[in-house]
Chains A and B, each alone.
Chain A
Amino acid sequence: MEHYDKKIIERLDLMAVNVRKHVIEMLYRAKSGHPGGSLSAVDMIVALYFAHMNHDSKNPNDPDRDRFILSKGHAVPALYAVLAESGYFSVDELKNLREINCMLQGHPVCSYVPGIEASTGSLGHGLSFANGVALAGKLDENEYNVYVMMGDGETDEGQVWEAAAAASHYKLDNLTAFIDRNFLQIDGNTEEVMRLESARDRWSSFGWHVTEIDGHNMKQILDALNETDNHKRQPSVIILNTVKGKGVSFMENNVDFHGVPPNEMEYNMAMEELDLIQKKLEG
């Protein structure tokens, strides 16, 4: 286990709250979007961009950059907020999520949004895309790492397992996948909709190096990333045990907030809660 400067963890936790506030604000303004899966994904995305990945918002096409692919494209408000806070585009742009004549589409598109690596939204493509990026890295003997986040429900898709087989076959050890394991998908509990357990055994049997952590614990996140980056001859998957709607009490583990934005009252309550967490962290 690494020993991180306490300040790094505090800074990341604080940024995560900030990003959650952006997410709530964006979805409230847009009057549409997916709060639950955005909030559960926040901590890993924050850790990647603010403490782990080699990237530069001023040079988003740098061939040596680490790549993050958000396969669960509906969680893109979290990524947009992180990209904006990292300087890929203005924070002000977040106000225009899902608006006509604006850049930030409801789901990610890579052809014109700086920092977005892959167009996603139709579930199940991202791991295959990440494999392509990882294969290119191997071919070019480039040292970059490739990260891809899938939803747990997303792994119902058959293509995920085509890609899982291929990543293992090609020994893509420059690839780390994350499963946002919040146990909820639109029609209910993942185990009732289409059983996923044992997720760990499934990935392991496909030849992957499997790690399982608390997906909201920054220290565990950073430890796991450092460990998987150095794991050789196998792709890695980190199963992130998360809470759908994390950070807003009435959204937590509430599947009704999968694809429904907060109304005015809910918006106010959510912001109040997040402000409180923020104040606490700021001490």
Chain B
Amino acid sequence: MSKKIMANPRNAYGETLVKLGEKYPNLVVLDADLSKSTKTIMFAKKYPERFFEMGIAEANMISTAAGLASCGKIPFASTFAVFATGRVYDQIRIDLAYSQANVKIFATHGGISVGKDGASHQMIEDIALMRVLPNMTVLAPSDATQTGKIVELMATNKGPMYARIGRANAPIIYDKDYIESVELGKGMMVEDGSDVTIIACGTMVDPAIDARKTLLKQGINAQLIDMHTIKPLDEKLVIKCAKKTGAIITAEEHSIIGGLGGAIAETLAENSLPVRFRRMGIKDRFCESGEPKDLLEKYGLNEKHIVKNVKDLIDR
């Protein structure tokens, strides 16, 4: 296997904010004492007057962002996914979703690959929490390149949005030219195939690419979709994949309840599509401290597990 080029999606976020900051004077950024980790510090250094340090007070940060948006600002509010969603659910519900505020929540440290900080910091419910809110767009970019493009699309499209990335470095999947075709609400066909469809988001796209290669060697031709937008879901694409391959497996670093897998299950069931279907994700439990790769192995979210699940699903 050729060596992968790694990049941190968090850096891509910070760098893109700086780039957008020049183009959009109304873009402002808020953080809750985690700017060094979320990388909003890059923006803070370049545009100190447009950066608002809110301290360890996330509820205040979200509602303040809504106030800024009401005056025509484009606020990006950042912190870890645990603090950016569950902790401030009511503020997001009323001040952003109900109010249709043009606020962008950009969360880092989503999923269990946060690692040693343990379950308190491993956010596996955020996509479900945000997806259930009317008016919310929910995003989970998969690599640094896509993260940059998604941040740009968040800034240029109206409405409340939530995006989450992981903590760790991630292999670069896309080149800059390919990424220009990214649209909110449109899944990306990473690899075409005919035997089964793997639909992954965020940190699970890269292991799914590896899994696909392994499966191909074993005579299984899987197609792979990067579903960076979980809401609004690209239902047309899901239906097309179901009809084409008759088997769908979803993979996300999130609870199997209410996230990408849940959204796709709803679409398949409501369209009466007779497919073999399986959700890969955290199986309704809290995880634990540990090295990211050990956690992903223990809780069933790596290349090996994708390969096994695909073979189980299609009985091969």
Contact = CB atoms under 8 A, between A and B. Distances in A.
Interface of A: 63, 109-111, 117-122, 124-126, 128-137, 139-140, 158-159, 162-163, 165-166, 169-170
Given A117-B70, A128-B62, 14 more contacts: A111-B100, A118-B95, A118-B99, A126-B63, A128-B66, A131-B67, A132-B66, A132-B68, A132-B70, A132-B71, A140-B71, A159-B60, A165-B57, A166-B60
20 contacts: A63-B72, A109-B98, A117-B70, A119-B95, A121-B94, A122-B93, A125-B95, A128-B62, A128-B63, A129-B95, A130-B67, A131-B67, A132-B63, A136-B70, A162-B57, A163-B60, A163-B64, A166-B54, A169-B55, A170-B52
A132 B65 contact: yes
Contacts of B69: 132
Interface string B41-59: 0000000011010110101
A3 B65 CA distance: 40
A150 B316 CA distance: 64
A25 B96 CA distance: 32
A137 B65 CA distance: 13
B71 A129 contact: no
B91 interface: yes
A118 B60 contact: no
Contacts of A133: 67-68, 70-71
B57 A132 contact: no
A136 B55 contact: no
Contacts, number: 104
B67 A136 contact: yes
B63 A129 contact: yes
A119 B99 contact: yes
Contact of A109 (B50, B64, B72, B99): B99
Interface string B84-105: 0000001101110011100000
Contact of A139 (B28, B55, B65): B28
A122 B66 contact: no
Interface centre among B50, B69, B70 (most CB of A within 10 A): B70
A29 B274 CA distance: 53
B73 interface: yes
Contacts of A163: 60, 63-64
A119 B101 CA distance: 10
Contacts of B91: 125, 128, 159
Contacts of A166: 54-55, 57, 60, 64
A137 B72 CA distance: 11
Most buried by B among A121, A122, A130: A122
Instruction: Give 3 nearest A-B pairs by CB, closest first.
Output: A132-B67, A128-B63, A136-B71
Contact of B64 (A124, A131, A137): A131
B98 A137 contact: no
- Interface footprint category on B: 20 to 34
A12 B95 CA distance: 32
A119 B65 CA distance: 14
Contacts of A121: 94
Contacts of B52: 135, 170
A196 B168 CA distance: 46
A139 B71 CA distance: 11
B71 A162 contact: no
A59 B49 CA distance: 29
A128 B28 contact: no
A128 B67 contact: yes
Contacts of A159: 59-60, 63, 91
Given A109-B98, A109-B99, A118 B68 contact: no
The interface centre, meaning the residue of A132, A137, A169 with most chain B CB atoms within 10 A of its CB, is A132
Nearest to A157: B59
B86 to A, nearest CB: 15
A135 B63 contact: no
Interface string B256-272: 00000000000000000
B71 A137 contact: yes
A139 B59 contact: no
Contacts of B54: 166
Contacts of B61: 128
A129 B57 contact: no
A117 B71 CA distance: 10
Contacts of A119: 94-95, 98-99
Contacts of B63: 125-126, 128-129, 131-132, 159, 163
A162 B59 contact: yes
B123 to A, nearest CB: 21
A118 B71 contact: no
A111 to B, nearest CB: 5
Contacts of B62: 128
Nearest to A120: B94
Contact of B90 (A110, A122, A130, A131): A122
Contacts of A128: 59-64, 66-67, 91
Contacts of B75: 132
Contact of B68 (A63, A110, A120, A136): A136
A141 B40 CA distance: 24
Interface string B155-167: 0000000000000
A130 B67 CA distance: 6
